[in-house]
Amino acid sequence: MLCGKVQAMRLLNAFGTFYLLLGLQLTAGSRGLEFPSHDGKDRLINLSRKNFNRFLKKYDILVVFFTITRDPQNAYEENQWYLTEQMLELAAQITEREGVGFGVVNLQNDRKLAEKLGIFEAGAIYAYKSGHKVAYDGQRSTDFLVEFILELDEHPVEEINTKIEIQAFKRNELSKVIGYFESSSSAAFDDFVDAALDFQPLISFYAVFQKLLAKQLGLTEVNQIDFYEPYMKKSITMSGNLPHDNSDIEDFVSDHKRATLRKLRPINLYDIWEDDINDIHVVAFADESDPEGFEFLQLLKEIAQLHTDDPNLSIVWIDPDDFALLHDYWERTFGVDLSEPQIGVVNVTDADSVWMARRKSRLPTLAELEKWISEVLSGKINTENDDDDYNLDDDVDDDDTEGESNDRNDVDIDDDFDEEDEEEKEEKASAVVEEKKEIRKLSRRSKLDL
Amino acid sequence: MLCGKVQAMRLLNAFGTFYLLLGLQLTAGSRGLEFPSHDGKDRLINLSRKNFNRFLKKYDILVVFFTITRDPQNAYEENQWYLTEQMLELAAQITEREGVGFGVVNLQNDRKLAEKLGIFEAGAIYAYKSGHKVAYDGQRSTDFLVEFILELDEHPVEEINTKIEIQAFKRNELSKVIGYFESSSSAAFDDFVDAALDFQPLISFYAVFQKLLAKQLGLTEVNQIDFYEPYMKKSITMSGNLPHDNSDIEDFVSDHKRATLRKLRPINLYDIWEDDINDIHVVAFADESDPEGFEFLQLLKEIAQLHTDDPNLSIVWIDPDDFALLHDYWERTFGVDLSEPQIGVVNVTDADSVWMARRKSRLPTLAELEKWISEVLSGKINTENDDDDYNLDDDVDDDDTEGESNDRNDVDIDDDFDEEDEEEKEEKASAVVEEKKEIRKLSRRSKLDL
């Protein structure tokens, strides 16, 4: 297709901006994929009680990072702040044209503002939009933070107007809510939108206005609202008199928010991980793009469908492809091979875990998986068989492998885990007497993702 | 579910490693999501002609970064190298236990090694595995590089052994190759595996050994090999006598490699962007998780199915959710609103573009899209109506909006684009006389993704 001169040029142009050798600096090449870096302009606002409302009004979305006064002598803290600041500044730069502002609140200096906002965690990020606040509990890196903000910037309710859009709705594997309304100007729809703003963007809200489409979606009455848990074929219809009001919708969604099978995503990983049940997570690793991983995932979906009414079961599904950075950490900490599907129980207080034994070269059957799950729920399989629930002498890498645990090769937990153990004991002892409203410092590591 | 003491502890434990105020430093909280940072150990090997083969033998996968001598006075270059080194060191640390080694080749100091390896681009990254080399043409950040390496580390051919695994195969929307073989010890299968190693991990290879499953996949003869272009229902069967040998398979796959509809992914973005047709890309933005974006994507798939035999058409589909960092850059450079589906023509030499006019609140019909595509292919719609193909006086933001281009609001291309234009002219003038084997410097920006 290309010949002679043109081809030579294309070949040279093919490699992005580049420099020829011999000191001659030339710029050329394929344009269209220039990743941004911070332009140097400071966009972070120092928010205080005095100016908070003004900036809240000024921006469509105000993203707020909550911090405490740093010790300038502490190099680690200073570096963490530098990374966090860079993340926030770049995100502010990228979203500036969308009407998004970024600010910082010092929880110690502005105690009253903290109390007004109800935020007491240093390191937390909240986005304020249309009188609603939404926590950003995703990975601390610019791309995911920006993805979150851009999704938050969209209208909170998607309208379904065609049959193909019904397909799009059905394919969405997040928790989702759908309502059938008279029109987009009905009061019932306004309440629905208002409720949606509390859950956007982690739970999707849809509306349908056409009777025929509504019927295909199983919505028979005007103002009916249904909730779909991920991977469930059947929806849950909201009970009570129609139309539903805003706060009832919020309660309804909150009640069903925690799914029986939840996918960990970079945008919600802390949100899910911190929502454990009795300090444990049932964790399943399955690479959906791998045939065996896909097959295992179908089993997990069956299990979830069988147990959807059990509030004590919520399986966290992790596709290892989504978390390449954690691959080695998880393999070492959990002692599992992530190139194969795995299911286990993880104690989130110490990352101690026990994994279902894998028979060579085959997946468990549904019955085997069912048995294992029931033994987890009954407590027969657990990570703490040899110690009390809150035994402070618990060692991080206690290798209590009772039940069906598998071989753990290569579990060389870092030494500093043991050091931290000492501190952990103190913390646990003091934790029970701490006030809930104490300012706490989250340390979701701002990852330097180069 | 939780009460009293336990709940208080869980609440405090719920926020990752944290520090209480008042100088008392405590560590606790949810464990299991600790993102790694570089441990400080140098893992990058200085590769030379003398030691290259030794390290090639030592590691399952040897990842090589190609560089040239830096000017220590050039702060920009030094910083770029620092970021690149950090990316490589962290990737090396994460993949160390998988038997992956990382090295650097200085193309100037080791000209002979460069010639032997056939690499002349500074900034390039190649992975060597089992006597094959694969370029890493993805985003310059640790997570995607590690994802690429981990996928490269798997067996290059996935076996399909069950009906559910056929579903997994069908769901895979990448280019894929499937072969039906006697067994995994047949010579024909060995050739298939060898060919797969040249395309792993960007093209998926599958094998089936059971007659019944093969039949369901449309494979009727032993040793038959089929290629599936993304989004195509029908496969292309490799012609020629059976069994096929390694190099014939490689030619077959290479011939069909460029799909009519290609999804830009962080792991392959440069690979696709640099594979333009006559300096242009037809680019479509569609957010698959959005009902309208999903519907537009179905249209694109129909177009692709209709045009699959046209080598002059290859649509690059970009889901904006995958590239949050580029959102603002693309909106500014292309003058489009990425919250709605868009299709346009982008000239990759200067990022000049022209976009299909959008009728308010509805997607184009298939017929409208067909007409637009045919006008692009005929050249009636193009970005360069007012200048020659290689007119060196071309301005970056020439706003030649003939044809069906839409309004371009807010196309404020940065000033430095114009500065670079001067250099670009020189480059273009010299490009045609440059030797192809000259060492070139890629400058895929190592993004500091905080």
Euclidean distance between the first and final Cα of chain A, in Å? Answer: 38
Handedness of CA A141, B100, B117, B272 (dihedral sign): negative
Does residue A281 have a pLDDT over 80?
yes
Give the integer Cα–Cα distance in Å for B318 and B331: 13
What integer is the mean pLDDT of A139-151? 96
Percent of chain A with pLDDT over 70: 80
CB-based contacts of B194: which residues, under 8 Å, 6+ apart? B246
Q: State the angle between helix axes of B246-256 and B187-196 in degrees (0 to 180), rounded to the nearest 10.
A: 40
In contact, B237 and B211? CB cutoff 8 Å: no
Q: Please indicate whether, in this complex, the C-beta atoms of A97 and B331 are within 8 angstroms of each other.
A: yes
List CB contacts (< 8 A) between B448 and chain A.
37, 86, 448, 450
Rg (CA), chain A: 25
Dihedral in degrees, nearest 10, Cα atoms B193, B195, B199, B202: -40
Percent of chain A with pLDDT over 90: 75
- Mapping DSSP onto H, E and C, the string for chain B reads CCCHHHHHHHHHHCCCCCCECCCCCCCCCCCCCCCCCCCCCCCCEEECCCCHHHHHHHCCEEEEEEECCCCCCCHHHHHHHHHHHHHHHHHHHHHHHHCEEEEEEECCCCHHHHHHHCCCEECCEEEEECCEEEECCCCCCHHHHHHHHHHHHCCCEEEECCHHHHHHHHHCCCCEEEEECCCCCCHHHHHHHHHHCCCCCCCEEEEECCHHHHHHCCCCCCCCEEEECCCCCCCEECCCCCCCCHHHHHHHHHHHCCCCEEECCCCCHHHHHCCCECCEEEEEECCCCCHHHHHHHHHHHHHHHHCCCCCCCCEEEECHHHHHHHHHHHHHHHCCCCCCCEEEEEECCCCCEEECCCCCCCCCCHHHHHHHHHHHHCCCCCCCCCCCCCCCCCCCCCCCCCCCCCCCCCCCCCHHHHHHHHHHHHHHHHHCCCCCCCCEEECCCCCCEC
Q: Which domains does chain B have, with CATH numbers?
A: 1-34 (no CATH), 45-153 (3.40.30.10), 157-256 (3.40.30.10), 261-417 (3.40.30.10)
Give the integer Cα–Cα distance in Å for A63 and A95: 11
Q: Which of A96, A18, A90, A107 is CA-nearest to residue A61?
A: A96
List CB contacts (< 8 A) between B33 and chain A.
269-270, 273, 326
Residue A401: predicted pLDDT: 39
In contact, B382 and B376? CB cutoff 8 Å: yes
pLDDT in tens, A199-220: 999 999 999 999 999 999 999 9
How many angstroms separate the CA of residue B318 from the nearest CA in chain A?
Answer: 12
Q: Does B39 touch chain A (CB under 8 A)?
A: no
pTM: 0.84
Extract the residue ranges of chain B whose pLDDT is less than 50: 1-28, 386-436, 445-450
Residue A395: predicted pLDDT: 41
> What mean pLDDT is reported for chain A?
83
Which band of pLDDT confidence, cut at 50, 70 and 90, is reported for residue A424? very low
Count how many pairs of residues, chain A against chain B, have C-beta atoms within 8 Å: 378
Q: Does A69 touch chain B (CB under 8 A)?
A: no
User: Do the strands A236-237 and A225-228 form a parallel or antiparallel pair, or are they unpaired?
Assistant: antiparallel
Q: Does A431 touch chain B (CB under 8 A)?
A: yes
Residue B302 to residues A275, B261, B298, Cα–Cα distance (Å): 43, 10, 6
Of residues B28, B320, B330, nearest to A428 (C-beta) = B28
Q: Does B279 touch chain A (CB under 8 A)?
A: yes
Q: Please indicate whether, in this complex, the C-beta atoms of A439 and B21 are within 8 angstroms of each other.
A: yes
Which band of pLDDT confidence, cut at 50, 70 and 90, is reported for residue A308? very high
Q: Which of B87, B140, B127, B81 is CA-nearest to residue B106?
A: B81
Q: Please indicate whether, in this complex, the C-beta atoms of B432 and A9 are within 8 angstroms of each other.
A: yes
Residue of B nearest to A68 (CA): B21
The DSSP secondary-structure symbol of A170 reads H
Q: Does B291 touch chain A (CB under 8 A)?
A: yes
Of residues A11, A151, A450, nearest to B83 (C-beta) = A450
Residue of B nearest to A414 (CA): B39
Residue B360: predicted pLDDT: 72
Place of tokens 């008199």: A241
Residue A256: predicted pLDDT: 95
AA letter at A366:
L
Does residue A426 have a pLDDT over 80?
no
Compare A388 and A63 and report the one with higher pLDDT.
A63
Q: E strands of A166-210, at which residues? A: 176-180, 204-208
Compare A106 and A421 and report the one with higher pLDDT.
A106
Q: Does A97 touch chain B (CB under 8 A)?
A: yes
The two structure tokens encoding residue B346? 């982008």
Compare A36 and A409 and report the one with higher pLDDT.
A36
Give the mutation candidate from A1, A7, A26, A271 for the B interface (greatest B CB count, under 10 A).
Answer: A26
Q: Please indicate whether, in this complex, the C-beta atoms of B11 and A276 are within 8 angstroms of each other.
A: no
Q: Does B31 touch chain A (CB under 8 A)?
A: yes
Q: Does B20 touch chain A (CB under 8 A)?
A: yes
Q: Does A273 touch chain B (CB under 8 A)?
A: yes
Handedness of CA B66, B68, B72, B73 (dihedral sign): negative
List CB contacts (< 8 A) between B349 and chain A.
13, 28-31
Residue A443: predicted pLDDT: 59
pLDDT in tens, B361-397: 789 999 999 999 999 999 999 998 644 444 334 344 4
pLDDT in tens, A52-81: 999 999 999 999 999 999 998 999 888 889
Residue A29: predicted pLDDT: 56
Q: Does A121 touch chain B (CB under 8 A)?
A: yes
How many angstroms separate the CA of residue B434 from the nearest CA in chain A?
Answer: 8
Does residue A19 have a pLDDT over 60?
no
What is the value of ipTM here, to two decimals? 0.83
In contact, A346 and A281? CB cutoff 8 Å: yes
Q: Which of A141, A145, A150, A147 is CA-nearest to residue A64?
A: A145
Q: Please indicate whether, in this complex, the C-beta atoms of A331 and B97 are within 8 angstroms of each other.
A: yes
Of residues B19, B87, B108, nearest to A450 (C-beta) = B87
